Amino acid sequence: MGISFKIVILFTSRIFVVLFVGAARGCSRLEACNSEYATGLELAGIDGPESSAEYCAELRAYGQCIKKATRACRGDLGYHSSSSLIETLIRRHRCAQFRPGPAYRRTSAAGKGKQHQLGACNHRSNGEYLHCGIFGDPHLKTFTRAYQTCSARGAWPLIDNKFLAIQVTNNPVINSSTATVTTKVTIIIRSIPGCAEEKTYEATSDAPLRPLFVDGTSTTGPDGSVQINATNDKTVKIEIYLRYIDTTLIVRKVGSYLGFSCRLPKEVAETKDENSVELCQTGCPATELLDIGLGRGHRASWEAAYSKCKDQDDQIVDQDGGVDEDSTMLTDQYLDWCVFDVMTTGKTDFVETARLAEADVRLLDPHSLQNRTFPLDLRNINANVVQQSSSSPRMLDEYGDICYFPIMWRIFHLNTHLKISPAPSSPHVYTQCRTRYTTPLNTVIMFVPQQEAWIVERMGKFHRILEPGLNVLLPIVDSVKYVQSLKEIAIDIPKQSAITAGDIKLPPRVQEAMQMQVEAERKKRAAILESEGVREADINVAEGQRRSRILASEAERLEQINKASGEAQALLSIAEARAKGITIVAQALNQKEGRDAASLRIAEQYIDAFHQLAQKSNTLILPNNVGDIPSAVTQVSWDKYSYH
C-alpha cells in the first residue's frame, strides 16, 4: 500500500511538472505573437487598423500564432482577450471580403514593394513591451500596471531618458474639486546621431492638434525614422512613431481635454536617471494620490454616471454604417474612472475620453485587461478604494484591485472560516480582500503557500477552503476558483476634521457651508489684526518723524544762537581793538611833534595811493586847479623832496 501511494505521488507530481512547464511555454508565446504582429504592421507600412487585404492578412497571422497556445493557455484571461479582440477586428474591418492567403510579405513603411534593410536605426527588441497612459482627471496606468488617480497639479514628467522627455501639465477641472485634467502635452525627441534630430511636439487643449513638430516638420531621420501620423480628422488623434526604438506615442484630444498613451520596449522604458521622477515609472507621489471614493464629485449621481458610461458602449457604428475602430466597451478601471469623472464633472466628454484610452490599451497592451464589466459602486464607499502604488507592483499584478459584490458571500464565508479580524460585518473588510486573476490548475496534489487560501468548487458548488500546506483534490470535479491573499494590506485613512460619536457623515454641501463660515470668521479676525498692525505702524512712523523734526529744529536754533553770539563777540572785540587804537593814536598826537608824525603818515598814504594809481594805464591824474600848473608841479616836487 505504501509503495502504490508513493507511485501515485510520483506520477501526479510528474504530471504537475509537465502541465506547469507546458503552460509556461504556451503562455509565453502571447508576448512573442504580439511582437510579431506589431513588427508586421510596421514593416507593412500600416499605421493602424484599416480595411485592407494587408491588414487582414496580418490579423489572420496573429490569430494563427495565438491558436498554437490554445491548450496550454486555455485558462489564461490574456489569451481569451487576444482571441476575442482578433475576431472583433476581423468583423469590424470586413476581412471576409478579402481572400484568405498567406501573411502579407512585410515591406518597409517608406514604400510598399521595397524591402527595408535593417540598420542602426531599426530597433531589435526582445519582444517585451511596456505601456503607460494618462487621461481624464487624470488617471494613470504605469509601466508596472499600477492604476492611480492623481491630483498632480502643474507640470509633471511622464518619461525622461536619453531618448525621450515627455511632460504633461494638469489644471483643475472644476473649482470645487481637487481633481485636475491634462491641458498640455510636451514631447521632446532627443537627438540620436544618425537616426534623429532633436524635435519638440506640443499639444494644448485650447487648440486643434497639429500633425507637425514645432519647427513645422513632420519627420526626421533616415527614411523617416521618426514620423507623425494623423487621423482623417487631424484635430483629434496624433500618433508619433520612433522606428529606432520601436516606440509608439499617441496624443488624443476630446473636447477641451487631452490624453496620452505610449508603448516602449522594456529595455528602453527602463532607461532612466537614478534621481529622476517619472510618473510612468514610479507613479504619482503619495501626497498627490486621489481616492476615487473620497474625491468624487456630486455633479451627477452614480446611477446616472454609470448609465452614461454604459450607454456609450452601444454607440459603435460610424456615419458610414461601419464600425468605429476606436470604439470599445468600457471595462476594468476604465469603467470605474469613467463613472468617477462623470460624477465629478457632469460632462459626457469624459466618457469618450475613457473609451478612447481603453481603445489604446487594447491596441498597445491588450493582455493587461481583465474584461470586468461591472463598475465599482461609489455610492456608499468612503475609503474603500486602495490606490495601486508602484511600491508593490508584484502584489498588484498578481492580485486584483478589489473584491466586488457578486462574490461577497464567498468572502463572508472565507472570513468566517479563517476568523479574520475585523468582523466581516464591517464594510472595510471587503476592501481588504484581494483575489488572484489566474488560478492554479488542478494537479490532484496541491501545495498552498503561506498567507494564501484557495477556494475550491466541486461540480460548480462551493466545497471547501484549502489552507497552507499539502492538499489533495479530486481531478475533473474539483477546481480552484479563487485565490485569497491573507496578507495585511494598508489602506488610507480618510481625512476628517471631526469624528462624531455616531460616526455621522454630513453631506458635502453642508460641510462646505460650515467650512466657509469658519473660514469667514478667521478671515475677519485676520483682517482686523492686519489693519490694527498697519495703524500702529503708521502711528510709530508719524511719531518718529515728529520727534526727528523737533530735534532738528532744536539743533538749528542752538546753532543760530551760537553763531550770533560768536558774531557779537567778534564785533565787540573789533570795536574794543579799534577804540584802543584810536586812544593810542590820540595820546600820540598830544605828545611833542605828534602832529608832524601824523602829517608824515598821511603823506605816505597819499603817495602810496598815487603809486597804485600810476600802476594802471587807464588812470589820468589831474590837479584840483587845472589852470595853476606851476603850483601843481611845485607841490609834487615838494612832496617828493619831503618824502626822500
Confidence of residue 452 (pLDDT cuts 50, 70, 90): confident
DSSP-derived secondary structure for 318-334: -TTSSB-TT-----HHH
- In this prediction, residue 110 carries a pLDDT of 37
Phi, psi for 614 (deg, rounded to 5): -70, -20
- Selected residue with higher pLDDT from 253 and 68: 253
Residues 543 and 538: their CA atoms lie apart, in Å, by 9
> Residue 203 carries which side chain, given as an amino acid letter?
A
Beta sheet of 478-485, edge-to-edge order: 461-466, 452-458, 478-485
Statement: residue 19 has pLDDT above 60 = no
CB atoms within 10 A of CB 321: 6
Query: What is the Cα–Cα distance from 47 to 524, expressed in whole angstroms?
Result: 62
Lowest mean pLDDT among 30-39, 488-497, 584-593: 488-497
- Measured CA to CA, the distance from residue 138 to residue 170 in angstroms comes to 8
pLDDT value at position 500? Answer: 66
pLDDT at 473 over 50: yes
Q: What is the pLDDT of residue 503?
A: 63
Under 8 Å CB-to-CB from 168, ≥6 apart: which residues?
134, 138, 155, 156, 158, 182, 184, 185, 186, 258, 260, 279
Please state, in angstroms and rounded to a whole number, the distance separating the CA atoms of residues 395 and 402. Answer: 13
Paired residues of 150 in beta bridges: 289
pTM: 0.46
Which is it for strands 237-242 and 226-230: parallel, antiparallel or unpaired?
A: antiparallel
Report the Cα 51 to chain-centroid distance in Å. Answer: 38
For the chain, what is the mean pLDDT? 74
Neighbouring C-alpha atoms within 13 Å toward the C-beta of 513: 5
**Residue 398 and residue 436 in contact, taking contact as beta carbons nearer than 8 Å:** yes
- Tell me: pLDDT of 428 over 70: no
Distance of CA 163 to the CA centre of its chain: 20
Looking up cell 479582440 gives 85
Termini Cα distance of the chain: 173
Backbone angles phi, psi at 146, to 5 degrees: -95, 135
Q: State the average pLDDT over residues 144-148.
A: 90
For the chain, domain boundaries: 2-97, 129-398, 399-494, 596-619+628-643
Closest CA to 164 of 269, 93, 266: 269
330 pLDDT tier (thresholds 50, 70, 90)? confident
Q: Does the pLDDT of residue 311 top 50, yes or no? A: yes
pLDDT at 551 over 70: yes
The answer to whether residues 53 and 102 touch, using CB atoms and an 8 Å cutoff, is no
On the question of pLDDT at 514 being above 60, the answer is yes
Of 65-69, 430-434, 640-644, the range with the lowest mean pLDDT is 430-434
Q: What is the mean pLDDT of residues 313-323?
A: 42
Rounded distance, CA 155 to CA 167, Å? 7
**Spacing of C-alpha 241 from chain mean position:** 23
Burial class of residue 96, CB neighbours in 10 A (0-12, 13-18, 19+): exposed
Instruction: Measure CA 308 to chain center.
Output: 29
Q: How far is CA 599 from the centre of its chain?
A: 112
Q: In what side-by-side order are the strands of the sheet with 139-141?
A: 147-149, 139-141, 129-135, 257-265, 247-254, 237-242, 226-230, 219-220
Single-letter amino acid code for the residue at 568: A
Share of the chain above pLDDT 90, in %: 18
Residue 489 has pLDDT above 60, yes or no: yes
Look at residue 142 in the predicted model and tell me its pLDDT.
93
Which of 3.20.20.150, 3.90.550.10, 3.40.50.970, 3.40.1000.10 would CATH assign to domain 129-398? 3.40.1000.10
Which pLDDT belongs to residue 494?
63
The cell numbers describing 179, all together, are 481633481
416: which 3 cell numbers? 468566517
